[in-house]
Amino acid sequence: MKKRVAVSVGLIMGLGMSHAQASGFANADASAAGVGVANAMVAGVADVSAASYNPAAIAWVEGVNVQLNTANELRNASVLMPAGLFSNNGGNYKVQGFNAAWMPHSGNLGVSAALTRPFVNQNVWFGEETLIEVDRWSLDVVYALSSTLSVAHGVDLYQSRMRMTQAGSSFSGSDRASWGINVGVNWKPAPFWQAGALLRTGTRAKVVSGNGQSVALNLPEQLTLGVSHDMADAVRLEADVAYTHWSRLKELSVQGGGITHAITLKNTFGVKTGATWYVLPNTAFKMGYAYEQGASTPSSFQTALADQAGHRLSLGAGGDLMGMHVDLAYAYGFYANQAVTAPAAVAGTYRDRKQTLALSISSDF
């Protein structure tokens, strides 16, 4: 599998349908290659997007690799209440970032860097907005302990922005930086098998406005475990399990202001599976399936962070074109209707759907 320097463009658009988010407000899409296999990439990732999915796998991606990313998303959701049908008017945002790595040929020590937006949320229910955007800068040292085992350890720098309105009060602010760490492992226990693990500690950010008001934003720890298997050197299968510790986020309340959101979220598990068929050495077709639990509960639903449990199906393809490598992926997410009973002011039946289109363009140095 050829190592590449990648320039990727992710275009995420709702094609006339409603968009939903699952697992709180986490965003796992870090490349088109990942979208094509439902982001099942912690074990068998074979390109520079490993800088986001599992930096330890950079040990098997030799040379200098760079990847640029941009994503646009349209979101719409609705709730059927006794008083009628109401829409969520939030969800439009743009994401930009990059992945980069350097692993010397025949060397055992390298580095990777990444800029992603792992958390993004915009809900506008009944005229009240909650916007959260979190960018993460990651820098990792990668060490190949042997030809079959590699590890990575690095620092995550988070930069958060928030905008909220509630009952005539408003808040808009950002934080300079908050810190976390990550640890990754990639292991080849037998021919054609790979296992991977990635732990990110999350962070505790303090988002401050220009007038001195602030919000404590506790971002969750995330743990992903996965196994991949190559069949006859033509098909790669992978299955991942992801855990997110959402219960550490207890509230979104403005200190010194009039906005209060008591938050009750449950910890979530997600299952991601993907298959890659290498038709030719540099041409592949992909497909994936993912299931994610919703962090919100029907008995304590918060419209500020509305999400639902659901399924995601994806298809992708990649090949060389005019001296570059192009990947294209499509994903469709469908979520079970959620009947919310409390609090009474937001009780109703919530419905969501999502479509994603991602494009990557890659070239070698």
CATH classification for the domain delimited by 5-363, as one of 3.40.50.720, 1.10.287.180, 2.40.160.60, 2.40.160.40: 2.40.160.60
Partner residues linked to 225 by β-bridges: 197, 241
Note whether 318 and 283 are within 8 A (CB).
yes
Q: What is the pLDDT of residue 94?
A: 65
pLDDT bin (cut points 50, 70, 90) of residue 6 is very low
Beta-carbon contacts of 57 under 8 Å, excluding residues fewer than 6 positions away, are 43, 45, 46, 50, 150, 184, 186, 196
Q: What is the pLDDT of residue 106?
A: 85
- Whether the per-residue pLDDT at 22 is higher than 70: the answer is no
* Structure-token pair, residue 359: 């494009």
- Whether the per-residue pLDDT at 110 is higher than 90: the answer is yes
How much is the average pLDDT of 18-42?
81
The rounded Cα 340 to chain-centroid distance in angstroms is: 26
Percent of the chain with pLDDT over 70: 91
pLDDT bin (cut points 50, 70, 90) of residue 346 is confident
Tell me the pLDDT tens digit for each residue of 50-97: 999 999 999 999 999 988 887 666 666 789 999 899 988 876 666 778
- Whether the per-residue pLDDT at 13 is higher than 70: the answer is no
Tell me the pLDDT tens digit for each residue of 213-251: 999 999 999 999 999 999 987 999 999 999 999 999 988
Beta-carbon contacts of 42 under 8 Å, excluding residues fewer than 6 positions away, are 53, 54, 196, 197, 198, 224, 225, 226, 240
How much is the average pLDDT of 269-293?
94
pLDDT bin (cut points 50, 70, 90) of residue 7 is very low
Q: How far apart are CA 300 and CA 296, in angstroms?
A: 7
From the number of C-beta atoms within 10 Å of its C-beta (0-12, 13-18, 19+), residue 150 rates as buried
- Whether the per-residue pLDDT at 16 is higher than 70: the answer is no
Q: What is the pLDDT of residue 19?
A: 35
Q: What is the pLDDT of residue 239?
A: 98
User: Would strands 5-9 and 324-335 be described as parallel, antiparallel, or unpaired?
Assistant: unpaired
67-81, 235-249, 272-286, 297-311: the lowest-pLDDT one: 67-81
- Whether the per-residue pLDDT at 4 is higher than 60: the answer is no
Q: Domain spans of the chain?
A: 5-363
- Whether the per-residue pLDDT at 341 is higher than 70: the answer is yes
